[in-house]
Structure 1
Amino acid sequence: MSTVVAVVLLAAVAAYAVFGGADFGAGFWDLTAGGPERGAAPRELIERSIGPVWEANHVWLIFILVVTWTAFPTVYQSIWLTLFVPLTLAALGIVLRGASFAFRKSVTAPWFRRAFGGGFAIASVLVPFCFGAVAGGIASGEVPSGGKAGDPVDSWLNPTSLVTGALAVAVVAYLAAVYLVREARRGGEVALEGYFRRRAIAAAVVAGVLSGAGLVVVRSQARSVFDGLTSQALPLVLATVLCATIALVMLALRAARGARILAVLATAGVVVSWGVAQWPYLLPGSVKVEDAAAPSGTLGALLVAVVLAVVLVVPGFVLLFTLAERRLLPEEGAPDAADPVRPASQSSARGDVAPPPARGS
């Protein structure tokens, strides 16, 4: 039963990487878009794309925390006691990012718009870096077993954590750029399609270089995980590399739809490969899944709750993304306060009695 829960947990982490990662990556491109005039068009596309769904994606994070805490309490305790600094920074970043994204549209003063825009963009980079650093700290054995606290600094500012954090930022940036290529094409925005295609290819190259560097670092700093990546997880690693390579080729050939699917598979493959590589350990070299698991009664009740969540929540997610994909959702939040207000007669003449539908993510 503990194995089933561990598989569910790994699937949830992969889902958060894919759905939440695309949102964080969009914030990276918001950060690097340039000044107000030069970056206006990319930022508008980013806002339209993530607006309808960005809040829903963090459900996966709550699910991960609840499942870990319930099913593997001592490991959850050890992780939080040791890695409370990056986890707290990530939590604050998520709050700052959400508040900034919402408030940026509600102000007209340029200084406030820049401040909220900067908060959204910087937090979008900080959060995936911190989560990557947490994964690196766990993989390199910096988290002690038995609900004890490890070093609060070295546990996440070590070579493995730093390269893993940088890789997480590169991967989510790549994933978001691939999504935005498709969005730009669907909207007939040729210039933006080329803009994000170039950035998707660049991010893919950076992610590939960081992956190679990461293997070198993991080989010296987290040998048990490296051995897993080159043995039991090797088929998944090769499949991930293949998906990423074909997606890169398809981007160059302007096949946006196929590239998006392969980019999603490659991103999920990174997470699943890591999980399989350290199996059967939750904390590599010290705590196995079966040893850290809660009593069978607790695990059974948890699995029932997971099934109920799948039945009740997943259809809502499917509906949300389907409506977003078909552009049937209203624009997220209030109208932009900085937009000029058209006279009612002009709006009626043009038929704009309702806000234009947002493009889905």
Structure 2
Amino acid sequence: MAEFIAGVLVVVIAAYACGGGTDYGAGFWDLLAGGAERGKRPRWLIDHAMAPVWEVNNVWLIFVFIIMWTGFPTMFQAVFGAMWLPLALAAVGLVLRGAGFALRKPTHRLAQRRIYGAVFAVSSLVTPFFLGAVLGGIAAGRVAVGTTASADAWANPTSVLTGLLAVAAVAFLGAVFLCSDARRFGADDLVDYFRRRALLAFAAVVVLALIALPVTHDDARHVWDGLTGGLGLLLVILAAVCGLATVFLLVRRSYGWTRYTSAASVALTVGAWGFAQRPYLLPTSLTVADAAGAPATLHWLVIVTGIAIVLVGPALVLLYRLDTLGQLEPLTDADTQAAGAPGDDA
């Protein structure tokens, strides 16, 4: 039962990495879009692409916390005790990001739009970095039951690299999804605009992954061994294949499957990390069995999870499907043609 719940936890983290990650990635490119005139068209696309689903994607994060504190309370206490500062910074970023995104759109004054836009964009960079740093600290074995909060728990080499990898990965996802959205909305210049950025982000992921190889070998040996053998290695290979397939499709300007291949590459990477940690939740001090809550609690958690899948799952699938088809909030001609092409001088 505990192993099953741990598997559900990894799946939900992967869902949040893909769903929420596309939003963080869109915010990353919002930050780099340029000034008010130069960045007007990319930001219009980002606003309209995110608007129908950005709040829904946070459901996955809530589900992660519920599984942690009900299914594995010992792990929850250890992680939040040792990592309270980066988690608090991620939470602040999450709140400010939502506020900035929600307030920017109806604001007419340019100065206020810039402030809200900057809050949204910077928070989209901060939140995935600190969430990734927390995962890196856990993988490196910096967290155990009774570990007190310290900078070493989340500011170590593995944590920093994992945080940077998280930022690069969500930037890759966001650019791929925005590339498809631009094509769907008929904004042809934005297709190539985000296509180039998707390729650059993937290159950044590869470079950071290569840098991380010797670091994790020494700093997170248990996870390293899990990623270089068995099912963990298989998932890493599949993730790499999906990532390369996405690049191939982008180079060929064939965008039909890029959403799925890019999301699969991130989800498989998260899955590989989960399998690499087995049998530990906190390598190498707390196993899944030792961290599990009472059997009755796990039993009811499975039941509640099943009910959530039956009741909420179809609605989420429908929402994502309608959003993919562009039937929720289509761009108007005024939106897509209000500004010049990216890079044009106003």
User: Given the two structures, how large is their TM-score scaled by the length of structure 2?
Assistant: 0.94
Which residue does 1:73 correspond to in 2?
Answer: 73
Which residue does 2:285 correspond to in 1?
Answer: 286
Looking at structure 2, the residues matched to 273 and 216 of structure 1 have their Cα atoms a distance apart, in angstroms, of 18
Do 2:184 and 2:326's aligned partners in 1 also have CA atoms closer than 8 Å? no
Confirm or deny that 1:189 pairs with 2:170: no
Do 1:52 and 1:331's aligned partners in 2 also have CA atoms closer than 8 Å? no
Confirm or deny that 1:248 pairs with 2:236: no
Runs of 4 or more, structure 1, over 3 Å off, are none
Q: Unpaired runs of 5+ in structure 1?
A: 340-361
Alignment-mate amino acid for residue 212 of structure 1: L
Alignment-mate amino acid for residue 267 of structure 1: V
Looking at structure 2, the residues matched to 282 and 206 of structure 1 have their Cα atoms a distance apart, in angstroms, of 29
Matches within 5 A, 1:250-329: 250-329=249-328
Do 2:71 and 2:293's aligned partners in 1 also have CA atoms closer than 8 Å? yes
- What SS does structure 2 have at the residue aligned with 1:282? strand
Matches within 5 A, 1:337-356: none
Looking at structure 2, the residues matched to 195 and 105 of structure 1 have their Cα atoms a distance apart, in angstroms, of 22
Looking at structure 1, the residues matched to 13 and 327 of structure 2 have their Cα atoms a distance apart, in angstroms, of 29
Deviations 1:306-359 (A, max 9, x none): 001101111111121222223332479xxx9xx9xxxxxxxxxxxxxxxxxxxx
Looking at structure 2, the residues matched to 244 and 150 of structure 1 have their Cα atoms a distance apart, in angstroms, of 38
Which residue does 2:343 correspond to in 1?
Answer: none
Do 2:84 and 2:149's aligned partners in 1 also have CA atoms closer than 8 Å? no
- What SS does structure 2 have at the residue aligned with 1:56? coil
Do 1:51 and 1:331's aligned partners in 2 also have CA atoms closer than 8 Å? no
Deviations 1:75-99 (A, max 9, x none): 1000000000110111111110111
Deviations 1:5-27 (A, max 9, x none): 00111000000000000000000
CA gap of 1:328–1:186, structure 2 versus 1, over 3 A, is closer
Looking at structure 1, the residues matched to 321 and 198 of structure 2 have their Cα atoms a distance apart, in angstroms, of 24
Which residue does 1:178 correspond to in 2?
Answer: 176
Alignment-mate amino acid for residue 64 of structure 2: I
Q: CA deviation at 1:151?
A: 3.7
Confirm or deny that 1:157 pairs with 2:178: no
Q: Unpaired runs of 5+ in structure 2?
A: 339-346
Alignment-mate amino acid for residue 32 of structure 2: T
Which residue does 1:114 correspond to in 2?
Answer: 114
Do 2:144 and 2:286's aligned partners in 1 also have CA atoms closer than 8 Å? no
Deviations 1:79-124 (A, max 9, x none): 0000001101111111101111111122222111100000000000
Q: Which segment drifts farther, 257-266 or 64-73? A: 257-266
CA RMSD in angstroms, aligned pairs only: 1.4
Which residue does 1:357 correspond to in 2?
Answer: none
Which residue does 1:56 correspond to in 2?
Answer: 56
Matches within 5 A, 1:206-245: 206-232=204-230, 233-245=232-244
Looking at structure 2, the residues matched to 106 and 43 of structure 1 have their Cα atoms a distance apart, in angstroms, of 14
Looking at structure 2, the residues matched to 19 and 60 of structure 1 have their Cα atoms a distance apart, in angstroms, of 8
- What SS does structure 1 have at the residue aligned with 2:23? helix
Do 1:16 and 1:61's aligned partners in 2 also have CA atoms closer than 8 Å? yes
Alignment-mate amino acid for residue 230 of structure 1: T
Looking at structure 1, the residues matched to 277 and 270 of structure 2 have their Cα atoms a distance apart, in angstroms, of 11
- What SS does structure 1 have at the residue aligned with 2:57? helix
Do 1:90 and 1:127's aligned partners in 2 also have CA atoms closer than 8 Å? yes
- What SS does structure 2 have at the residue aligned with 1:113? helix
Aligned length: 332
Alignment-mate amino acid for residue 255 of structure 2: A
Looking at structure 1, the residues matched to 50 and 329 of structure 2 have their Cα atoms a distance apart, in angstroms, of 12
Looking at structure 1, the residues matched to 148 and 283 of structure 2 have their Cα atoms a distance apart, in angstroms, of 14
Confirm or deny that 1:22 pairs with 2:61: no
Alignment-mate amino acid for residue 160 of structure 2: L
Which residue does 2:13 correspond to in 1?
Answer: 13
Looking at structure 2, the residues matched to 149 and 331 of structure 1 have their Cα atoms a distance apart, in angstroms, of 50
Looking at structure 1, the residues matched to 175 and 255 of structure 2 have their Cα atoms a distance apart, in angstroms, of 11
Looking at structure 2, the residues matched to 77 and 302 of structure 1 have their Cα atoms a distance apart, in angstroms, of 18
